[in-house]
Structure 1
Amino acid sequence: MSEISQSQAVPAPYHRSTADVVKDIIRRGAVFLLLGALFILFTAAQPAFLTVNNLMSVLQAVSVVAIIGAGVTVTLAIGGFDLSVGAVAASSVMAASYAMIVLGLSAWQTVPLVLTFGALVGLVNAFLIVKLKVPDLLATLATMFLLTGLQLIPTAGRSISVGLILPNGTTATGKYDPLFLLIGRSSLFGTVPLPVVLMAVVAVALYVLTEHTRFGRLLFATGGNEIATRLAGGNTARIRTIAYVLSGTLAALGGIIVAARVGRGDVSSGASLLMDSVAASLIGFAVLSLKRPNVLGTTVGAVFVGVLLNGLTMLNAPYYTQDFIKGVVLVGALALTYGFSRART
């Protein structure tokens, strides 16, 4: 009798139904399913969409957004949010242009200078957030406004190009270093644009750092429960500081690529970078249904947005509808991920 009762107490193995399997596939692969649907739709409407040159063009277009979005992802991992990345990138465009055209610096001097500038902005954000206890959103919003105004002062609000007339009436005699322009305009093996290579390097390096190192575990632990992480021996102040320094440096790298691509310091160059990088980071939550910040997901999200915009452009969709369509697709990807997850529970 006791053996029968014991066998009856053992729960029967759970067998997933076909519907559950389908829902799980949709939940984990929502973004990839939508991306595949976009490829089919755009290729059917415009066969030129699915060519190597066009796909490389898409990747080059999203490289800056992916790099900046990776920095945003790191700050999201610690439970923060860096709103200043767009302004840092735009200021870096202006700083790189000013360094070469006005100060006459070379590419070897300009690139480290601009990257240091981005890191310093990250340190300022970290000081406001970690030391002065200013909320992340307020601190980085203040930095954003500060940089947006600061970048206009040296040139009295004018874009920077060869022959720039300075506020004191003199004419700048410098020019863009050809080596610097190669950062945004050259290709590896004549096929893969250098910005795409930089995007891949940043994505792989940050993926390894955040997903396969102790620092990465502490990063997410800080975002999940900062007090518990501190009690476990993690230096949360240093972790937060490193996160914002990384974000600022990557935003500056994005600005360098933009400056090297367009060959001038355009005052409106960073207008959409913040929103696009944030969109890529949020779409990343839905990739493989991880439901947390992750660099791989952010990169996929950036490519997703790039494919969408490229396809809409090739189909001559009105420019004023593109942001709306991006929003619809973002809502759809997140709804598929989180909606099917709730249904399963």
Structure 2
Amino acid sequence: MTNSAQHTSENPRGGNGLETVRETIRRGAVFILLIALVVGFSLAQPAFININNLMSILQAVSVVAIIGAGVTVTLAIGGFDLSVGAVAASSVMAASYAMIVLGLNAYQTVPLVLAFGALVGFANAFLIVKLKVPDLLATLSSMFLLTGLQLIPTAGRSISVGLILPDGTTATGKYDPAFLTIGRSSLFGTIPFSVLMMLLVALILFVLTERTRLGRLLYATGGNEVATRLAGANVNRIKTFAYVLSGTLAALGGIIVAARVGRGDVSSGASLLMDSVAASLIGFAVLGLRRPNVLGTLIGAVFVGVLLNGLTMLNAPYYTQDFIKGAVLVGALALTYGIGRTQN
């Protein structure tokens, strides 16, 4: 056999081996970085790996994961919901107002706030589907509207027991203990209830998006809306469903925040939009799927939570944390999209 023949027979094997390594790195990039973070933080600060701290991380990211799951559904249809942070923040205020000012109990407040989130999602869908306003502009407008609207009933004050209303009277209501259990209770004294809710939402949406006809239609709409419509699917209903679901999940996130902190803080939703979007985008890199997916969003939320918790335990300056979070996000996406591309 000549040298040229030997090279011809060996190169494909070598090339295939290299491609296998690249594909493995691409598909596992987020997991590799996540493991590296956990090991690094554990070595630098042994208390990081403590079970209570790990549960604290999951509890902290539960709201981000739930809201991010809604964002993921809108990304699947080729849209984007920028109003989720404002919906969550408004839901915190709405839940607090309902109990402290209106005197409602948990069983009245929770459905009311979820209905509020669904209504905002429906309004977004109306702007996008019926009025043909671009997704980003429609949801951005809703974000500004809600950010201002939540401040009006209390004249910009946070809501807590004994709130002085704009007319000079004092609110006489209080938080329902049953409501507070949503954000403060735990299973067996170890697993926070909010973490269980996060896992339940993730499981339901994973089955919905990955194992049902509706899920296939969601991705089909995002991939080629015209073809999906010509195939007989009602694209307008699919889009409406996505935005209503996103608004409802954002409201659920707000309920959990309100139940955890026990007050309606006007700044409670400040970082929820960016963190939920970051989780959704990191989700693109999970298993190299390169598309929005609920499992990836859950992993992305945990990824962000581990990173921020570790930086906090290491006393990293707060003003560097967003930069580091962005750098790691860029790294995860670069590994996913940059490795394994077609070689010339």
2:337 aligns with 338
1:327 aligns with 326
1:242 aligns with 241
In 2, the alpha carbon distance for the partners of 1:92 and 1:29 equals 36
Q: Residue 77 of structure 1 contacts residue 219 of structure 1 at CA under 8 Å; is this kept in 2?
A: yes
- How do 1:151-300 and structure 2 match up within 5 A? 151-300=150-299
Relative to structure 2, which stretch is displaced further, 12-21 or 321-330? 12-21
SS at match of 1:120: helix
2:66 aligns with 67
SS at match of 1:29: helix
Shift of 1:17: 3.3
SS at match of 2:24: helix
Shift of 1:344: 5.4
1:8 aligns with none
* Structure 2 spans left out of the alignment, 5+ residues: 1-8
1:6 aligns with none
1:25 aligns with 24
Shift of 1:19: 2.0
* Structure 1 spans left out of the alignment, 5+ residues: 1-10
C-alpha distance 12-94 of structure 1, shift in aligned 2 (>3 A): same
How many residues align? The count is 335
SS at match of 2:189: coil
Percent identity over paired residues: 81
2:4 aligns with none
- How do 1:139-150 and structure 2 match up within 5 A? 139-150=138-149
In 2, the alpha carbon distance for the partners of 1:141 and 1:278 equals 14
Are residue 58 (structure 1) and residue 57 (structure 2) matched?
yes
In 1, the alpha carbon distance for the partners of 2:174 and 2:269 equals 22
Q: Residue 121 of structure 1 contacts residue 245 of structure 1 at CA under 8 Å; is this kept in 2?
A: yes
SS at match of 1:317: coil
Q: Residue 73 of structure 1 contacts residue 295 of structure 1 at CA under 8 Å; is this kept in 2?
A: yes
- Equivalent AA in structure 2 for residue 187 of structure 1: S
1:3 aligns with none
TM-score of the superposed pair, with normalisation by structure 2:
0.96
Q: Residue 77 of structure 2 contacts residue 221 of structure 2 at CA under 8 Å; is this kept in 1?
A: yes
In 1, the alpha carbon distance for the partners of 2:78 and 2:169 equals 48
1:107 aligns with 106
Shift of 1:189: 1.3
Q: Residue 19 of structure 2 contacts residue 340 of structure 2 at CA under 8 Å; is this kept in 1?
A: no
Shift of 1:343: 5.0
In 2, the alpha carbon distance for the partners of 1:27 and 1:225 equals 26
